[in-house]
Chains A and B, each alone.
Chain A
Amino acid sequence: MRHPISLKQEFLKKWILGLQRCGFSSKKSTSIMERKKAIKLSADLAMASTRNGTTCWSRALITNASRDHESKILAQQILGPESQSLKKASSTMPPVICSRRIRSKKILKRSCSSHVRRVRKIALPQKVLSANSVAKRLVQKRTNILKSLVPGGEYMDDISLIEETLDYIAYLRAQTG
């Protein structure tokens, strides 16, 4: 864990800042949902800023936030000056690069599969094979669920997905105190 205490402090500072800038202190008529959104947004941006775009989920959060005009301003305020470059990079990077990577991997797999078939595989007993396939399916299912949970996780491969999950869990834990 990267200094959970300092992480929390940093997160809190930025969260408060974002909430204040959201006009929280002044507006009292906003509905609960709006407030909720603002809080969520501020929290997301605050956390994302602590990572400064090093992690995929933070980039995805920032990117999503930057899409709306309203949240864009908030994002700028919270993230600070470095957010400009980060936004430009993040707006195009995660989904495009990830999808590119996935596409290239698929192409590679397809091209290699023609050779793979020549390789003789030691046949396992049928029970083992089916058990393996069942396990693989389970794992795949859960990986998909995890991808849907972690922001920006849809485009990542398994390995980076686990890393992002680690980071995201740290973020969530910092948020919940």
Chain B
Amino acid sequence: MDMVGDKDKFELENRNEEDPMNFAAPSPSPSVDWRFGGLVPTGNPMAVSKGSTSMVVESFGPTLWDQSQTANPQNLGGLFSDINNVQNSASTSDTLGIRKGTPAAVASLPTIDHKTFDMGWNPTSSMLNLKGGGGIFLPGNGMLPQSLSQFPADSAFIERAARFSCFNVNGGNFSDMVNPLESMGGTNYFRGGGMMQEVFGANGQSHSQKNEMMNVDEAFKDVSMSVGEHEHEHGATGGGGSPLKNVRSHDEAKQGIGVGGSGPGNDSDEAEFSTAGGQDEPSVLEGTTGGERFAGVLESKKRKRSEQDTELDLAKVGPQQPGESAKDDTEIQQNGDQKPTSTTNKSSGKHGKQGSQASDLPKEEYIHVRARRGQATNSHSLAERVRREKISERMKFLQDLVPGCSKVTGKAVMLDEIINYVQSLQRQVEILQSRAGPSTLGFSADMPMAYPQLHSSQQGLIRAGLSGLGSSSDLHRRTMNSQLTPMTGGFKEPTRLPNVWEDELHNVVQMSYGTSATPNSQDVDGSLPPGHMKVEL
């Protein structure tokens, strides 16, 4: 049910692409407050319905986006509480209305005290009120905008909402979840991490919750990915990445997020906002995260986000620069970073993580790489991983280019095929050139015309020549070929063949005739049927 509910949320989220507020440009304004208020229209405690939860998630998404760069933990807490309450409530229309994201919409919400929302989130007092779906959305008047900005990613909201729904299912007790909020008090509580800590602590189901959260994380990850694709390429993905980014170290987040936001050239406020919010959030979250289990969960979230980030960032950058510039390292990084990164669920150390952003900035000479989940965060291994990914990405391009390489996997075999192909191409070119020499003398006046003929005939000859190219000393054959070319150059006039070479020429001409039937085939096979070899000689 939890996962299903989450999926529903995701679906709804995806469906709501047309929603203007959806993951759209986050407007850092206190107006976000009312959104949360709107989320708790009714006071049904445990009436968690799929529709409502999904709506809640949706509404949370835009709210998250709208929040600017104020990193106010209280807002986060309020958000979480909102989620809880929303889940409790079954009002979907209101949430949608909230989505529209205008204070006017807030006014439409009957059960919410819009004024309070506008003022901001009241930290704990409002949380206390949330019990049973009350005033959780009023965490703190001034705090809300700031904290909300910390969660620009709607996907992050989805995640948390899912978690809370999980909690509901597990504990089935929103009050328990709310209680810790009360006890928290202060700013710490409302920080995202703090929230989770408290919730976990209150329920005492840390493990199960963690598991669920992990599952939810994965689900969210997928959703955030898909969501990003659907709705806002950059923004959503940036947003999805930002919450995890937030959890990371300040420097990483700031570097990575800032760079990432500017790197892909996102003009959307969303992306920038999410990245900016991400910057603020880590500072807040890091301060609050305490217990190991929470840290573990957060780390897992971080890593998942980081993976998403790397993927998304890379994906963002990839389309923009279709991987053909090899000028700067940064450019190469950008181009080469279209990698579908696979995520693992191991836990890795916090230290050494670096924000990875495929940066557009030409000034930046550093390539920021973020450690993915379950991978070593040593700087060397990070660099190695980046390098490996670059290489594998480029090998994929080569696979398309080199015939017969689609089934081959692995660097060594691929390189082998590439080498063979390059060698065969070089030999072809050599033969063509040697043949073109004598022929050009004879057809200098008609060179442009002769070229297509040459090419077609040469193709056949090349094929024949290739088959015989086993020895390095092909001079004899080449001279033969070169002398033959003037005759075969005149492909349309085989009668010109000199008598001296008549026998061989006949064979060659036959071959060229045969090959001319397929003049358009540009793939030269290194291996010709053995008959050709014999014919040529």
Using known A-B contacts A158-B391, A162-B394, A166-B401, determine if residue A146 contacts B440 with beta carbons closer than 8 Å: no
Q: Is the CB of A119 within 8 A of B425?
A: no
Chain A residue, CB-CB nearest to B395: A162
Using known A-B contacts A35-B441, A158-B391, A159-B336, determine if residue A165 contacts B422 with beta carbons closer than 8 Å: yes
Interface of B is mostly: helix
Q: What is the 8 Å Cβ interface bit string for chain B, positions 310-340, against chain A (1 contact, 0 not)?
A: 0000000000000010110000100010000
B398: which A residues are within 8 A, CB to CB? 162, 165-166, 169
Please tell me which one of the listed residues A139, A166, A177 contacts residue B459 in the complex, with CB atoms under 8 A apart. A177
A177: which B residues are within 8 A, CB to CB? 432, 455-456, 458-459, 522
Q: Is the CB of A12 within 8 A of B394?
A: no
Q: Is the CB of B433 within 8 A of A159?
A: no
Q: Is the CB of A24 within 8 A of B444?
A: yes
Using known A-B contacts A39-B436, A119-B378, A169-B425, determine if residue A24 contacts B441 with beta carbons closer than 8 Å: yes
Please tell me which one of the listed residues B438, B440, B524 contacts residue A176 in the complex, with CB atoms under 8 A apart. B524
Interface status of B20 (Cβ within 8 A of chain A)? no
Q: Is the CB of A139 within 8 A of B415?
A: yes
Chain B residue, CB-CB nearest to A38: B437
Q: Is the CB of B522 within 8 A of A176?
A: yes
Q: Is the CB of B394 within 8 A of A159?
A: yes
Interface status of A99 (Cβ within 8 A of chain B)? no
Residue in B378, B421, B422, B432 with the greatest tally of chain A CB atoms within 10 Å = B422
Residue in B378, B418, B430, B482 with the greatest tally of chain A CB atoms within 10 Å = B418
Chain A residue, CB-CB nearest to B523: A173
A116: which B residues are within 8 A, CB to CB? 380
Q: Is the CB of A166 within 8 A of B397?
A: yes
Q: What is the 8 Å Cβ interface bit string for chain A, positions 119-144, against chain B (1 contact, 0 not)?
A: 10000000000000001001100110
- In chain A, positions 134-176 with a C-beta closer than 8 Å to chain B are 135, 138-139, 142-143, 145-146, 149-150, 158-160, 162-166, 168-170, 172-173, 175-176
Please tell me which one of the listed residues B326, B418, B433, B444 contacts residue A43 in the complex, with CB atoms under 8 A apart. B433
Interface status of B434 (Cβ within 8 A of chain A)? yes
Measured as residues with beta carbon below 8 angstroms from the partner, the interface class of chain A is 35 or more
A141 to chain B, nearest CB (A): 9
Interface status of A48 (Cβ within 8 A of chain B)? no
Q: What is the 8 Å Cβ interface bit string for chain B, positions 378-401, against chain A (1 contact, 0 not)?
A: 101000000100110011011001
Question: What's the Cα separation between A32 and B422 when bound, in Å?
Answer: 25
Using known A-B contacts A172-B425, A176-B524, determine if residue A55 contacts B433 with beta carbons closer than 8 Å: no
Question: What's the Cα separation between A164 and B419 when bound, in Å?
Answer: 13
B434: which A residues are within 8 A, CB to CB? 32, 36, 39
Q: Is the CB of A55 within 8 A of B524?
A: no
Q: Is the CB of A172 within 8 A of B426?
A: yes
Q: Is the CB of B440 within 8 A of A166?
A: no
Interface status of B183 (Cβ within 8 A of chain A)? no
Interface status of A3 (Cβ within 8 A of chain B)? no
- In chain B, positions 366-416 with a C-beta closer than 8 Å to chain A are 378, 380, 387, 390-391, 394-395, 397-398, 401-402, 410-412, 415-416
B368 to chain A, nearest CB (A): 17
A100 to chain B, nearest CB (A): 14
Q: Is the CB of B433 within 8 A of A139?
A: no
- In chain B, positions 462-484 with a C-beta closer than 8 Å to chain A are 462, 479, 482
Using known A-B contacts A24-B441, A36-B437, A116-B380, determine if residue A176 contacts B459 with beta carbons closer than 8 Å: yes
Question: What's the Cα separation between A143 and B295 when bound, in Å?
Answer: 44
Question: What's the Cα separation between A163 and B323 when bound, in Å?
Answer: 9
Q: What is the 8 Å Cβ interface bit string for chain B, positions 447-459, against chain A (1 contact, 0 not)?
A: 1100100011011
Q: Is the CB of A172 within 8 A of B419?
A: no
Interface status of B500 (Cβ within 8 A of chain A)? no
B447: which A residues are within 8 A, CB to CB? 16, 19-20
A106: which B residues are within 8 A, CB to CB? none
Using known A-B contacts A112-B380, A177-B455, determine if residue A172 contacts B422 with beta carbons closer than 8 Å: yes
Question: What's the Cα separation between A169 and B441 when bound, in Å?
Answer: 28
- In chain B, positions 281-314 with a C-beta closer than 8 Å to chain A are none
Q: Is the CB of A24 within 8 A of B440?
A: yes
Chain A residue, CB-CB nearest to B394: A162
B332: which A residues are within 8 A, CB to CB? 159-160
- In chain A, positions 1-36 with a C-beta closer than 8 Å to chain B are 1-2, 12, 16, 19-20, 24-25, 28, 32, 35-36
Please tell me which one of the listed residues A35, A119, A150, A158 contacts residue B387 in the complex, with CB atoms under 8 A apart. A158
Please tell me which one of the listed residues B391, B433, B456 contacts residue A39 in the complex, with CB atoms under 8 A apart. B433
Chain B residue, CB-CB nearest to A109: B380
Interface status of B423 (Cβ within 8 A of chain A)? yes
Interface status of A40 (Cβ within 8 A of chain B)? yes
- In chain A, positions 52-111 with a C-beta closer than 8 Å to chain B are 54-56
A176: which B residues are within 8 A, CB to CB? 425, 428-429, 432, 459, 462, 522, 524
18 A-B pairs in the complex with CB atoms less than 8 angstroms apart: A1-B401, A24-B440, A36-B482, A112-B380, A119-B378, A119-B380, A138-B412, A142-B412, A146-B419, A159-B336, A159-B390, A159-B394, A160-B326, A162-B398, A169-B402, A172-B429, A176-B425, A177-B522
- List the 3 closest pairs (A to B, CB-CB), nearest first: A35-B437, A172-B425, A25-B444
